[in-house]
Structure 1
Amino acid sequence: MSCITIRNIFIFILTFNFCAALNAQNKSVAQTPPMGWNSYNCFGSAVHENEVRANAGYMAKNLKQYGWQYIVVDFLWSYDNPPGSNIGNPFQKNLEDGSFVPWLAMDKWGRLTPHVNKFPSAFGGKGFKPLAAYVHSLGLKFGIHVMRGIPRQAVWAKSPVLGAKGITADMIADTSSKCPWMNHMYGLDMAKPGAQEYLNSILNLYAQWGVDFIKVDDLSRPYSAAEIEGYKKAIDQCGRPIVFSTSPGATPVNKADHIKQHANMWRMADDFWDEWKAVLQMFDYAKEWEGTGGPGHWPDCDMIQIGKLSKRGPVGKERYSRFTRDEEYTHMTFWSIYRSPLMLGGNLPENREQELKLFTNSEVLAVNQHGTNPRQLYKTQNAMAWYSHVPGSKDLYVALFNLGDAQQNVSVDFSALGLKGKIAVRDLWAKQDLGVFDQQYQQKINTHGAALLRVSEKAR
């Protein structure tokens, strides 16, 4: 056998092993629902680097030991918000030459970069690499929000596409594909040569920065299957394990098999905010998606609306959550029993003791991270129950909800759970054993409140 043949075989084995390792690496992300913080609910499009660092510092000190790990910069980080602005305004075409005003921070390859007025450490073409390195130094992971497609200003500028010789941005854009609420981007025509190379180029850039999580907006309505597949391919080739989240909803339920295959989490609904009616609506969305979650793919109830919200928009005035204390417990209880990703939306340094208590109960968070096969047990006009299985045992997690407008008893029949005999009940929020019960358990629950339990058959 010649040296050339042996060398080729050796190269093939190395390449095969690398690809296999990379594939396994990418499949390893989001094996449990991701837990972290996102800047949108408290800062809209106007978050600045010092504020991201402050939230990361708070998480590292107070929350990391409970499993919280992602720090995510939400939308318009390439846009220079004017002083005092709450949200990035749509940019307009320059009447003289057709260029766009204001000009987003962008490199020569048509890839958006962080605006240095918001993120000073990005100066000199460093991008998010310094900020990601800081977040990583705290033992946390770093994420960003991106809009689907390619910047309109890149199309206007005919920016060359990295990795696609002779292809420019205007040759791969689908100018008829536009986000209805943000005029910065065009969709990509994934059938065009160079479209996949463009997505590869931006994911390679994000990998160089040290990004661990991308939230890609405007993929779900209409459902953009080709672009979803394009982002997944780009992630798979970039050499870094990156969680892929699609946003917002409502993701079509009939696309469940497709989205499970290509994304790690997907929004079931439009933006969720701190109103009780939104909680009731989320219960219905969750029922529609029941049974679709599992390691590597999670239906997403949206961010946790608890803490200091809307400091610079985007909805309402600056405030602590409008939820009552009982509604906050219902919020956290349902997101936990359902195994939704948990992304905190409030400004963490302004948390009070009541917020910290909600975010650091290890027994409650275990329901979210480890409970399996969550299912709705029953729902009436005034009450609801969900349950999931405790891995490695016959125990069950049970969540009881008072949906009515007055305090009432909410119950669970043990036979409906397949349990027999004497049943031990533990209150996970209180971390207290409540006793042993026959046939059923009931608890008086405040208006719009909830209970989260662990129930166990006693040895007979």
Structure 2
Amino acid sequence: MPQFRHLLTTVAGALLITGAIPAVAQRATPSFHQWAATPPMGWNSWDCYGPTVTEAEVKANADYMARNLKSSGWEYVVVDIRWYVGNDTAHGYNEKDPAWNIDQYGRFVPAPNRFPSAAGGQGFKPLADYMHAKGLKFGIHIMRGVPVVAVQRKLPILGSKATAADIYTKEGQAGWLRDMYTVVAARPGAQEYYDSLFKLYAGWGVDFVKVDDLSSPYHKAEVEMIRRAIDKSGRKIVLSTSPGETPIAEARHVAAHANMWRTVGDFWDSWEQLKEHFEVCNRWAPYIGPGAFPDADMLPLGRLGIRAERGDDRMTRFSRDEQYTLMTLWSIFRSPLMFGGDLPSNDAFTLRLLTNPEVLAVHRSSTRNRQLFRQNDLIAWTADDPNTGDKFLAVFNAQDQELLPETEAVWASGMITRQTPGHRQELTADLGGARQLYLNVRDGGDDIAWDHADWLNLTLSDGQKTVALSSLPWQKATAGWGQVAANKSVSGGALVVGGKTYASGIGTHANSMITYDLPAGFTRLTGEVGLDQAGAAQNTGGTVRFLVFTKNPYRPMPADSSRVAVALESLGLQGPCTVRDLWTGKNLGPVTGEFAPYIRRHGAGFYRISAVKKN
């Protein structure tokens, strides 16, 4: 038998390499995968309301979903982080004097001033009942671990003689929110603590739990305890792990324990972040399987930032072309779809984007989802319709106006990270006789979107007099997230780098460009650059590079549209075929040999291709 099992493993591995079977066919299918056999679809409060959402706002979004989205498969309504704090704040958590709501067994419960129906010890049950009455499902966000306040109070653990103080360690505590300590799996009471949590959630009627600070870094022991606790709870609770990137080396393990797991950090309405998803989705495509889905994170569409962590109240910064790209990639990759915008604020375009039946059918039931090719920034994905033999094709034009290399800059900082002494570096640049100045910040590629970057005490000199650059108006300023700000950080706070506060400077974010017209005669720029405290305080902080250019750092702009040619043979199709545009619902007529649509820059096309049946 051992030799036979080895032979089966060898054959399966060979078939996987050749693409004859998908990777997911090799793993056993746990029963809990049946609880979310297709990628979950729902709404999450984070992108709108950060840690401050109220019961009334949750219900308003649920009402909209029931009226407008439920018939298209949308069903989960998820209350995100810190629902147990009565006085939390937007644009940064209240960690100074949080008003905790916690029961006698060290389990957080909803703040009744924000969730009135939770009063009297009812927890989230009345709100879950409200969802269930509308045919929807209810979810919550929690942080991995045991509450610090429960440890400090030595609160008992239900079903154990241990207290919270017996099961914790400070090792691995999240750097970005210090509500929780790590649970040590080997200690008596550890499993019982997680069991007690999910027993409580099951009693409330919770259908979905997103567990934060679990995937990156990957806490394998707590993943396993959570899985056991859900299985013991007696309720079918879908498990989502966060944030990302989940280590791909743990792909098999997380798929065996969770229904969905994050592939990236927090994703916002930034084209740079969206473009990075092509590589990430390609990396994770082999691990898509029934009931177990790599999660490309939420859909930052519609109205965002009402009281959120990123930016101000706004409609998504994505152009319509970029929104089509987002929905097309998430659908053919079969990522869970968790809408981040305020649903009652949706416009007609956003509603159509979320309810296209042919696009959602690909998301729901397509198979063998994979990248077909990437030719620079022209990209094609494909998948199969298991019922008809048709092929789905998604094509993308991710071309950008490219930047000159760092070697063309008159000054470059090199990489600045949380490990850089003081998180800063001095700047001295010779500007020669230039009449324009370009301040460029580039992301270091660490998959952490907290690249808060500061230009500090920048001073122009002509050899005799000096001018503070922040006193001059810039000609143009763009930031990868948020808005460039004079004399404050991009997140709106003071400019703080390495524990030092600066009165003069410019706050921005990777990737960004700030352009100035230089006063005549000024030939020297001095100052400092650094990673703002808002970025440095994260688990691994940001990674940024600062560059100074005195000539236009942009290469010529690509064409507005580009032809993306796909050989039908590469899809496994021979002879004449018909093409249907899934977004417009139009039949495009017969094609032979290749299909080559023109796709707008940052845009996408999504098609069903069918072989013409012979009479």
What is the TM-score normalised by the length of structure 1?
A: 0.91
Alignment of 1:459 onto 2:463: no
Measure how far apart 1:240 and its partner are: 0.4
Alignment of 1:436 onto 2:590: yes
Name the residue aligned to 1:424. Answer: 578
Contact 1:76 1:88 in 2 (8 A): no
Measure how far apart 1:229 and its partner are: 0.5
Deviation digits for residues 238-296 of structure 1, max 9, x if unmatched? 00001000000010011111011001000001011111111111111111112101111
Deviation digits for residues 221-241 of structure 1, max 9, x if unmatched? 221000000100000010000
Matched letter for residue 400 of structure 1: V
Name the residue aligned to 2:146. Answer: 150
Contact 1:78 1:106 in 2 (8 A): yes
Deviation digits for residues 30-67 of structure 1, max 9, x if unmatched? 10000000000011001000000000000000000000
Secondary structure, counterpart of 2:256 in structure 1: helix
Contact 1:290 1:374 in 2 (8 A): yes
Cα 1:24–1:300 shift into 2, 3 Å: closer
Match of 1:183 among 172, 178, 182: 178
Matched letter for residue 29 of structure 1: W
The CA distance in 1 between the partners of 2:212 and 2:363, in whole Å, is 25
What is the TM-score normalised by the length of structure 2?
A: 0.68
Greater alpha carbon shift after TM alignment, 385-394 vs 105-114: 385-394
Measure how far apart 1:81 and its partner are: 2.7
Measure how far apart 1:25 and its partner are: 6.2
The CA distance in 1 between the partners of 2:317 and 2:87, in whole Å, is 27
The CA distance in 2 between the partners of 1:329 and 1:281, in whole Å, is 16
Alignment of 1:299 onto 2:294: yes
Uncovered stretches (5+) of structure 2, i.e. residues with no partner: 1-28, 401-559
- The percentage of counterpart residues that share the same residue type is 48
Match of 2:389 among 388, 394, 405: 394
Matched letter for residue 333 of structure 2: Y
Secondary structure, counterpart of 2:225 in structure 1: helix
Match of 1:91 among 91, 95, 100: 95
Secondary structure, counterpart of 1:332 in structure 2: helix
Measure how far apart 1:323 and its partner are: 0.4
Name the residue aligned to 1:113. Answer: 109
Matched letter for residue 89 of structure 1: Y
Matched letter for residue 67 of structure 2: K
Contact 2:332 2:363 in 1 (8 A): yes
Name the residue aligned to 1:47. Answer: 53
Uncovered stretches (5+) of structure 1, i.e. residues with no partner: 1-22, 93-100
The CA distance in 1 between the partners of 2:36 and 2:166, in whole Å, is 35
Name the residue aligned to 1:349. Answer: 344
Contact 1:383 1:401 in 2 (8 A): yes
Match of 1:259 among 254, 262, 277: 254
Measure how far apart 1:24 and its partner are: 7.8
Contact 1:90 1:184 in 2 (8 A): no
Name the residue aligned to 2:432. Answer: none
Deviation digits for residues 80-119 of structure 1, max 9, x if unmatched? 235xx31463424xxxxxxxx3241000000000001110
Secondary structure, counterpart of 1:289 in structure 2: helix
Contact 1:36 1:343 in 2 (8 A): yes
Secondary structure, counterpart of 2:393 in structure 1: strand
Contact 2:104 2:155 in 1 (8 A): yes
Deviation digits for residues 288-317 of structure 1, max 9, x if unmatched? 112101111000000011100010021011
Listed as ranges, the matches of 1:201-350 within 5 Å are 201-350=196-345
The CA distance in 2 between the partners of 1:348 and 1:151, in whole Å, is 32
The structure whose residues are more often helix, as a share, is: 1
Matched letter for residue 368 of structure 1: H
Name the residue aligned to 1:29. Answer: 35
Deviation digits for residues 157-214 of structure 1, max 9, x if unmatched? 00000001x2100000112231110011001001101100000000000000000000
The CA distance in 2 between the partners of 1:200 and 1:87, in whole Å, is 33
Large movers: runs of 4+ above 4 Å: none
Cα 1:394–1:67 shift into 2, 3 Å: same
Greater alpha carbon shift after TM alignment, 268-277 vs 172-181: 172-181
Match of 1:381 among 376, 379, 404: 376
Higher radius of gyration, 1 or 2: 2
Secondary structure, counterpart of 1:220 in structure 2: coil
RMSD: 1.2
Greater alpha carbon shift after TM alignment, 373-382 vs 31-40: 373-382
Secondary structure, counterpart of 1:436 in structure 2: strand
Matched letter for residue 178 of structure 1: Q
The CA distance in 2 between the partners of 1:79 and 1:377, in whole Å, is 47
Measure how far apart 1:445 and its partner are: 1.5
Contact 1:143 1:214 in 2 (8 A): yes
Secondary structure, counterpart of 1:387 in structure 2: strand
The CA distance in 2 between the partners of 1:43 and 1:421, in whole Å, is 52
Alignment of 1:415 onto 2:563: no
Contact 1:412 1:440 in 2 (8 A): yes
Alignment of 1:122 onto 2:118: yes
Name the residue aligned to 2:426. Answer: none
Measure how far apart 1:373 and its partner are: 1.5
The CA distance in 2 between the partners of 1:311 and 1:81, in whole Å, is 17
